Amino acid sequence: MIMEVLRSILKKPATNLYPAEKLEMAEKYRGELKFYPERCIGCKLCMRDCPTGAITIRKVGEKKFEAEIDLGKCIYCGQCVDSCLKKALEITKHIELAQLDPKKLKVVFGHEQAGESPEKPSQGAAE
Amino acid sequence: MHNSKEFKIPIGPQHPALKEPESFSVALRGEKILGVDIRLGYNHRGIEKACEERSYVQDIYLIERICGICSHAHATAFIQAVEEIAHLAVPERALYIRTLVGELERVHSHLLWLGVAGHEIGFDTLLMYTWRDREIVMDILADLTGNRVNYGINSIGGVRRDISPAQVKDVLKAVDKLEERTKYYIEVATEETTIIKRLSGVGVLAYDDAIKLDAVGPTARASGVARDVRRDDPYAAYDKIQFNVITDTHSDVYGRTVVRVKELMESYGMIREILKKMPEGPIAIKAPPRRIPAGEAISRYEAPRGEDVHYVKSNGTEKPERVKVRAPTLANVQAVKHMLKDRFLADMPIVIAAIDPCFSCTDRSIAIEDGKSRKKNVMTWQELHDYSIKWHRERGFDPAEINRKFHKTMEGK
Ligand code: SF4
Ligand code: SF4
């Protein structure tokens, strides 16, 4: 054991200096959701299967839907993505979602505001 | 301290040495434990009841959150029961993937335990090392399933994610590294005098007692009881995989350590075999049913801590009628009582830690018993609420007032 301890003293630390050093998540990590309003048909299958009721699909116009996702409620299980037959939802590996103000945890993805939602657009969502 | 005097000390429900709230009332004479009274129920989260109000699909994620460490164990046990009721033939490849995640989970759980055990005996170097190495398997799990804990890999009739050839390579590489480290831990466990002296003869559970008290998992196996659901009642792909059931005859905490480190080695072998034998094919059945026909099933799963039992009763709708969970800790709690008797108080943390307790998993239901009439009664939510307000008012607090003040400060902010 002593030898191992001595060897470890010379090694560089096993931990990262987060947040100065960013963490790279696994390729298919389940982080924040992304919504493609143009693909959604408003069937609400995602709402039915969501275990926490974190996602709400609202009709905002003729065949236009927006999604409100409560990041505080969402458990990032990705079931809504599996349930959606139109591939209107996608899971990204963006994980830095903490907020001091609980109101900011409610993110609305819609037609007009796509990109200018209160959150900055998800990183790592590019396919 | 006077050795003649008997006294009782409460440890918990809130105590710095406990990671989870649980109440131990310890009767002592001097340093010696005369008896321990364990009261469960401080972690009750009502998950079983909540399952009845959600669909099977939603329940998978809820059940998975019974335990953060053996989440796959619970989710798989539940889903196996559901699949049995619905007579679903799960594709072979899915079974292999479930087994793979199950074994990786065992690796992470045993490494975690080894660190915790080191911590409890003041050997924090071991904690740092094992937890550093545990990151290897955590990264692999995150890569395979999408999360470090609560993997969400199961779906009714299969698994949700396939494993690619590149990932197979990553897993094999990680397993090699872990195996090398584990060999080192075996060396530490069998040669390091600190460990041997501190753990030998502590928390003894003889073979007969293990049988009598129905211990499960590594706790039972360390007492020489070759009890392992993976072999006794194979599920998933375990009937196609070669492995040894590790037992030990030390019957103490030291034996439990040895069993766990050796089981790690078994798991590596199994992971390699799984990856080699994994057949091609679909990973889930097409169109899993949402309604499960009426029926009931019991499913067993060898979680890292021992046998986990789930019971599911369905009534033909989208939601189960009853879900019952018996987590491994519940089976081992009685054994802890026995192990602590006539031992020193200072051994208590490590003896409790040695069964790898998870009290949140264990707490399932509360029956309130009237102290005098011994009558059990069940309170509705409103009654419980009123009772708690009355209780506090009698003691000079007004929860409603505090609540109002709290909201005011929060809003004022
Ligand atoms: S399941 Fe997909 S298409 Fe249906 S409402 Fe949800 S996001 Fe829209
Ligand atoms: S990821 Fe899970 S919890 Fe979050 S919105 Fe989708 S289904 Fe709901």
Write phi, then psi, for A26 (nearest 5 degrees). -60, 155
- Per-residue pLDDT at B366: 58
Q: Is residue B298 part of a domain?
A: yes
Banded pLDDT at B412 (limits 50, 70, 90): low
- Per-residue pLDDT at A18: 83
Rounded to a whole number of angstroms, the distance between the first and last alpha carbons of chain B is: 52
- Per-residue pLDDT at A126: 36
Same domain, B317 and B196: yes
Same domain, B308 and B402: no
Q: What is the mean pLDDT of residues B12-28?
A: 84
Q: What is chain B's mean pLDDT, rounded?
A: 89
Maximum average pLDDT range among A60-69, B99-108, B345-354: B99-108
Banded pLDDT at A112 (limits 50, 70, 90): low
Whether residue A1 and residue B188 make contact (CB cut-off 8 A), yes or no, is yes
Q: Is residue A107 part of a domain?
A: yes
Same domain, B401 and B290: no
**CA-CA distance, B386 to B277, in Å (whole number)?**
59
Same domain, B255 and B110: yes
The answer on pLDDT for B3 being more than 70 is no
Banded pLDDT at B97 (limits 50, 70, 90): very high
Same domain, B249 and B354: yes
Banded pLDDT at A117 (limits 50, 70, 90): very low
Share of chain A above pLDDT 90, in %: 35
Ligand 2 touching residue A76 (CB < 6 A): yes
Same domain, B11 and B73: no
Task: Give the structural domain span for B399.
Answer: 381-412
The answer on pLDDT for B359 being more than 60 is yes
In CATH, what number is assigned to the domain containing residue A110? 3.30.70.3270
Q: Is residue A12 part of a domain?
A: no
In A, residues 36-95, which contact B (CB 8 Å cutoff)? 48-51, 75-79, 82-83, 91
Same domain, B17 and B113: no
Q: How many domains does chain B have?
A: 3
What is the reported pTM?
Answer: 0.87
Q: How many domains does chain A have?
A: 1
Same domain, B51 and B35: no
Same domain, B227 and B78: yes
Nearest by CB to B146, from A5, A8, A78: name it.
A78
The answer on pLDDT for A118 being more than 50 is no
Ligand number nearest CA of A63 is 1
How do residues B270-297 score in pLDDT, each as one tens digit? 999 999 999 999 999 988 888 999 999 9
Same domain, B119 and B24: no
Banded pLDDT at A116 (limits 50, 70, 90): very low
Lay out the sheet containing B320-326: strands in order across.
B295-303, B306-314, B320-326
How do residues B201-229 score in pLDDT, each as one tens digit? 999 999 999 999 999 999 999 999 999 99
The preferred substitution site among A52, A71, A73, A105 for testing ligand 2, maximizing ligand atoms within 8 Å of CB, is: A52
